[in-house]
Structure 1
Amino acid sequence: MQWKARYEEWLQQLPINDPLRVQLSEVQRDKRQLEDCFYKYLEFGTGGMRGIIGPGTNRMNLYTVRKLAAGLASYIEIQGEDAKKRGVVISYDSRKFSREFAEEVAKTIGFRNVKSYVFDSLHPTPLLSFAVRHLGAFAGIMITASHNPPEYNGLKVYGEDGAQLTPNAADVIVSYMDQVDNEINIESRSLEELEAKELLVWIGDEVDKAYLNQLKEIQLSSVEEKSNLSIIFTGLHGTGTPIAKKAFDALCYQNVIYVEEQAVPDPQFTTAPTPNPEETEAFNLAIQYGYRNGAELLLATDPDADRLGIAVKKKDGKYQLLTGNQIGAILIQYILERRQKSGKLPGNGVILKTIVTTELAKAIAEKYGIETVDTLTGFKFIAENIEAINTTNERQFLFGYEESYGFLVSDFVRDKDAIQAAVLVAEAATYYRQQRRSLLDILNSLFNQHGYHKEVTRSIKLEGKDGAEKISRIMDEFRQNTPSALGSLKIRRSEDYQSGDMFDFFTSEICSLTLPKSNVLKYILEDESWICIRPSGTEPKIKFYIGVKAETIKGTEEKLTRLEEDLLNRVTI
């Protein structure tokens, strides 16, 4: 069906007073915008289904939510009555329509007699992941657009292991979604009817209590070892502050100050227009609080509290933000160092990271005799590896992370968990403080031991149908015209995760890659610097990752500059 036909169908079938119909009427003369609203259906990406809120099949609204819920219900039905009774856990963040979308999922799957457990207040992504296994549910849905701008919302879908769906499972659900002829006419039940039939259960604070009990187990320091470390925490108008307060109280941190203006849920993210702890602007208020209170550590979580950013006080009194790669490296060092000193470092331990995450992690792990395993980008692949590790019992999971500020300390959650990371960062800062060292001192020590590693990510935003076509063309151009060198460095080997092939330019050898197929290209250069190119799975962007290593900070900066200039000059938009 062409986009014009979809548009006409929606306009005819939407109730006369439906706000989406009103919005369509307001833009009926803007053919370009209408086409973008209807030229395709929202797709599953790295983090599920995510898009701009508004009318149309390519937007987040009640009807596209219903369509996904119907596809999930069909998937659960074929698993049998037990799967329907185990049901789906549903959580939601502070974004516009998140509560409404959560209830719409429950109403849609409830019509098919699939039970739902819905949090009675907004809750973070890691609590959803935890709740799926804690309640023995068959699946989970998190309503969130993570760190995207305010005009976005989305859904993440989880399996019974508490991890985001792998591509194979997602494909099955998509196949059922494709069988839905008309998303506007999908039937649902009222919340009152679902409650009466015990197909809807509201979750109170019992899951929080169980989560906090598990959180206490990740500590590597005793209560007596903890000092009065001064911490500023902000949840950036999202879900992080309530559970963070409970966590820091439970773990006896007495000097945590919360950014009051950003503790209030706000779908417009009024004081943090870009609610992303990767961005310096997201820390503006926290830094002001830090100066006023003399805080040593600033912590920020994104709206669904699965990503953590930190800033550390320098000797000159100013704050330095650390990258996700640097935070993960410090946490790996702390975990392995403390476990070794306590005699609890397993010989079969394993660190999991993505292919675009710093190689410093591997160097630190090797020093302690610990294996590092790479996965594709997306925490669902780390979770998939955790499940495999636990199934065979041949290895022990110690830590998992990705460069985009996602960390997991213990696998009672199967997605990145900013609350776990926040309390362990605070513990590490306390531990090293007692040695008169800061987290920056630890980072510099790691660089001195393993070489200076530096990474950058550059994105080009290309929106709409034209943008998607441009992204596809850029990927094709790099595939068909692989450069022999970048930034004056020869390419040693190329890895094409779509074809599944690795080619060694020095030996002309071709090998098969072991990771699943994905639209990703990676180049490893002669000095072990690397470049990775991939379309974003959550935003209309193409992303370029660059990682280098040198003996000095200046050396890394020079390499990065040369590589970035050469790489981006090859991109034709």
Structure 2
Amino acid sequence: MQPEVSTWLARDPDPVTREELQQLVDGNNQSELAERFASRLAFGTAGLRGIVGAGPNRMNRLVIQETALGLGKYLQQVEPQSALKGVVIGYDGRPDSRQFAHDAAAMLTFMGIKVYLTEKVAPTPVVAFGVRQLNAAAGVVVTASHNPPEYNGFKVYWGNGAQIIPPHDSGIAGQIDIAAAEPLPHHSVEDGERQGLLVWLNDDFYTEYRRALNNSPLLANQHQPEALSLAYTAMHGVGAELAESLLADAGFSKVYSVAAQREPDGTFPTVNFPNPEEPGAMDLVIAEADKHQAMLACANDPDADRFAVAVRTEEGEYQMLTGDQVGALLGHYLLTHAAPTQNLVGTTIVSSTLLKKIAESMDAVFYQTLTGFKWLTNVAMEKQTADSQFLFAYEEALGYTVGNTVWDKDGLSALVAFAQLAAELAAKGKTVWDQLESIYREHGLYINAQRSIALQPGSPPVGDSLRATPPTHIAGRGVAIIDDLKLSQRIHADGQIEQIDLPPSDVLIYHLDDGSRVVVRPSGTEPKLKCYYEVVEAMSHEDCFSHVQQHAQQAMEDLIRKHQASLE
């Protein structure tokens, strides 16, 4: 037996994964053993995420314990008050999540660090809220969000209530490596309780979050909420109880919850993939909405940090809004209702630029960040001033945050805000589709698409070849500006160069002379190139909406086809 395998077997506290690993050894399954021990599950800015199983390249109790010890060591190094301030820990409804959360709590209390541990499953935004509410040094959510059932994860928040960013990610990772080579302490949640270092977060904690949202001026807009009907699904996740309570608090009485998906179930029995963006994932909630002729079919993902919605059309069908459409609608709505000094809105480099256009038209302050909500919130904290308080941020992958109650994406507050937006429109005799068309007529019709190109493993970085010979045209359109985020430079066609105020990242953004945009970035996790496209079609109040839509769609198809061909 290889030494690292026998060492792992001796350290692993879980009889289930020990047995799993022993069977691989007994069966001489060298390829599987090699894959599990080739590397350690990498800890990054999203924390850990991976398939549950035995070995260092999997999610399991030993990996969780070593990770918690690494986090504790790092906190003690950089935050002198961390033991007193403590760490908030919550978890989702996946089979191993409660055990993993308890293991993390046990390791941190062993180190003398106070832990606030939820008594039951918790939506991710509730834990993020708790970090600041309890003035904790950090927070942890054991969740794999909308990943398939075989996954789990360990998501870390800093004391500011936002997801960690550099240098904390690499600092924690370094301490995890040290912890993995040291003897493992034997300590339990009960031991932590006896020490007086474990505080259980009960229903009062969830009520604090609920009260905070109910008291937010941004979620106080009540226009005949009782007249709006909506269907809702928690998608076998942890959002139902709070989602239903918050909607009831806001006066929405016609809420129809999908019973088959209401309770937490980490096997996700009714969906192939528990991500509202995936085909078929919204089928049951749309069927529920159709049964009641509801205006909206709403969903949270399993940890309730994302929000998705399908809206009833004039023809009585339900059509999904894209993340960018929801972002534009919420951004416009919130800027219309917020105090003049609450005017800071942002989105990411791969999301639509429509929010920027809306913000400019309302004299609001717009900012843009790299992909990932960790950037949206951490940058917002830096940028806000007394005259420009943070209001709203979103990313195209269905992530939104309304105000600063939670410094991370929050599918629950987004649900309430969107329901209030729709109710206000309905009270004026308008639909969500009318409002979207009105925004397009003012600013142009923006459509966005994403495509991925598979690359050969080990192939040279595409970005390098694109930088070596920068394109002057893409799909017959002139390249007006290239944003090279690796060099932090904005390069104009006439040769003028400006500096870009974003952290370096291997991303190229091509701004085309007709207002279109192409973003190219390699995936951080697999050998593929991600391409994001935006087409903007000018539109007047007289233009036929369906004709403009059709023209924009044709322009998008042409842009994608020709750009993809140029990369082959």
Normalised to the residue count of structure 2, the TM-score between the two structures is 0.92
The answer to whether residue 491 in structure 2 is matched with residue 489 in structure 1 is no
Segment of structure 1 superposing worse, 521-530 or 256-265: 521-530
Q: Which residue of 2 aligns with 1:351?
A: 345
Aligned-partner residue type, residue 518 of structure 2: I
The answer to whether residue 434 in structure 2 is matched with residue 438 in structure 1 is no
- Of 400, 403, 420, the residue aligned with 1:410 is 403
Using the alignment, how far apart are the partners of 1:38 and 1:477 within structure 2?
34
Q: Which residue of 1 aligns with 2:487?
A: 499
Contact 1:129 1:415 in 2 (8 A): yes
- Structure 1 position 359, deviation (Å): 1.0
Contact 1:277 1:302 in 2 (8 A): yes
Task: Flag the 1:565–1:25 CA change in 2: closer, same or farther, 3 A.
Answer: farther
Using the alignment, how far apart are the partners of 1:501 and 1:29 within structure 2?
52
Q: Which residue of 1 aligns with 2:418?
A: 425
The answer to whether residue 183 in structure 2 is matched with residue 189 in structure 1 is no
Contact 1:46 1:538 in 2 (8 A): no
Contact 2:24 2:33 in 1 (8 A): no
Q: Which residue of 1 aligns with 2:115?
A: 116
Matches within 5 A, 1:242-261: 242-261=241-260
- Of 349, 357, 366, the residue aligned with 1:363 is 357
Q: Can you list the C-alpha shifts for 1:251-293, whole angstroms capped at 9, x where unaligned?
A: 1211111101101111111112211122241110011111111
Segment of structure 1 superposing worse, 352-361 or 27-36: 27-36
Contact 1:365 1:371 in 2 (8 A): yes
Task: Flag the 1:66–1:17 CA change in 2: closer, same or farther, 3 A.
Answer: closer
Using the alignment, how far apart are the partners of 2:36 and 2:473 within structure 1?
41
- Of 498, 508, 514, the residue aligned with 1:521 is 508
Matches within 5 A, 1:313-332: 313-332=312-331
Task: Flag the 1:220–1:245 CA change in 2: closer, same or farther, 3 A.
Answer: closer
Aligned-partner residue type, residue 564 of structure 2: L
Counterpart of 1:310 in 2: which secondary structure? strand
Aligned-partner residue type, residue 488 of structure 1: G
Aligned-partner residue type, residue 375 of structure 1: T
Using the alignment, how far apart are the partners of 1:406 and 1:157 within structure 2?
17
Task: Flag the 1:473–1:369 CA change in 2: closer, same or farther, 3 A.
Answer: same
Using the alignment, how far apart are the partners of 1:122 and 1:13 within structure 2?
28
- Structure 1 position 457, deviation (Å): 1.9
Using the alignment, how far apart are the partners of 1:331 and 1:546 within structure 2?
22
Contact 2:84 2:114 in 1 (8 A): yes
Q: Which residue of 2 aligns with 1:271?
A: 270
Counterpart of 1:316 in 2: which secondary structure? coil
Using the alignment, how far apart are the partners of 2:119 and 2:525 within structure 1?
27
- Structure 1 position 453, deviation (Å): 0.5
Using the alignment, how far apart are the partners of 2:532 and 2:251 within structure 1?
39
Q: Which residue of 1 aligns with 2:379?
A: 385
Aligned-partner residue type, residue 85 of structure 1: L
Contact 2:222 2:424 in 1 (8 A): no
- Structure 1 position 12, deviation (Å): 6.1
Q: Which residue of 1 aligns with 2:553?
A: 557
Contact 2:9 2:21 in 1 (8 A): no
Counterpart of 2:41 in 1: which secondary structure? coil
Aligned-partner residue type, residue 534 of structure 1: R
- Count of matched residue pairs: 557
Root mean square deviation of aligned Cα = 2.4
Q: Can you list the C-alpha shifts for 1:286-332, whole angstroms capped at 9, x where unaligned?
A: 11111111111111011111110000000111100000000011111
Counterpart of 2:267 in 1: which secondary structure? coil
Q: Can you list the C-alpha shifts for 1:549-569, whole angstroms capped at 9, x where unaligned?
A: 113222321222123223333
Task: Structure 1: give runs of 5+ residues left out of the alignment.
Answer: none
- Structure 1 position 53, deviation (Å): 1.4
Using the alignment, how far apart are the partners of 1:46 and 1:161 within structure 2?
15
Using the alignment, how far apart are the partners of 1:301 and 1:411 within structure 2?
20
Contact 1:46 1:378 in 2 (8 A): no
Contact 1:24 1:55 in 2 (8 A): no
Matches within 5 A, 1:95-494: 95-182=94-181, 185-216=183-214, 217-219=216-218, 222-223=221-222, 225-339=224-338, 344-346=339-341, 349-390=343-384, 392-459=385-452, 469=458, 473-494=461-482
Q: Can you list the C-alpha shifts for 1:411-430, whole angstroms capped at 9, x where unaligned?
A: 01000011110001000100
Task: Flag the 1:159–1:538 CA change in 2: closer, same or farther, 3 A.
Answer: farther
Q: Can you list the C-alpha shifts for 1:167-190, whole angstroms capped at 9, x where unaligned?
A: 21112111212323437x422411
Using the alignment, how far apart are the partners of 1:256 and 1:197 within structure 2?
45
- Structure 1 position 221, deviation (Å): 5.1
Matches within 5 A, 1:532-571: 532-536=519-523, 542-551=529-538, 552-571=548-567
Q: Can you list the C-alpha shifts for 1:405-451, whole angstroms capped at 9, x where unaligned?
A: 11111101000011110001000100000111111111111112111
Using the alignment, how far apart are the partners of 2:477 and 2:469 within structure 1?
17
Counterpart of 2:286 in 1: which secondary structure? helix
Q: Which residue of 1 aligns with 2:542?
A: none
- Structure 1 position 490, deviation (Å): 2.6
Contact 1:280 1:321 in 2 (8 A): no
- Structure 1 position 386, deviation (Å): 2.6
Counterpart of 2:117 in 1: which secondary structure? strand
Q: Can you list the C-alpha shifts for 1:133-153, whole angstroms capped at 9, x where unaligned?
A: 111111000111111111211
Task: Flag the 1:535–1:11 CA change in 2: closer, same or farther, 3 A.
Answer: farther
Q: Can you list the C-alpha shifts for 1:91-117, whole angstroms capped at 9, x where unaligned?
A: 111123111111111111111111111
Q: Can you list the C-alpha shifts for 1:452-507, whole angstroms capped at 9, x where unaligned?
A: 10111223578xxx85x45x734444444543332222322222323323322x11
Contact 1:126 1:305 in 2 (8 A): yes
Using the alignment, how far apart are the partners of 1:82 and 1:186 within structure 2?
24
Normalised to the residue count of structure 1, the TM-score between the two structures is 0.91
Contact 1:492 1:523 in 2 (8 A): yes
Contact 2:402 2:414 in 1 (8 A): yes
Using the alignment, how far apart are the partners of 1:50 and 1:321 within structure 2?
28
The answer to whether residue 518 in structure 2 is matched with residue 531 in structure 1 is yes
Q: Which residue of 2 aligns with 1:509?
A: 496
What percent of counterpart residues are identical?
35
Aligned-partner residue type, residue 230 of structure 2: I
Task: Structure 2: give runs of 5+ residues left out of the alignment.
Answer: 539-547
- Structure 1 position 11, deviation (Å): 4.8
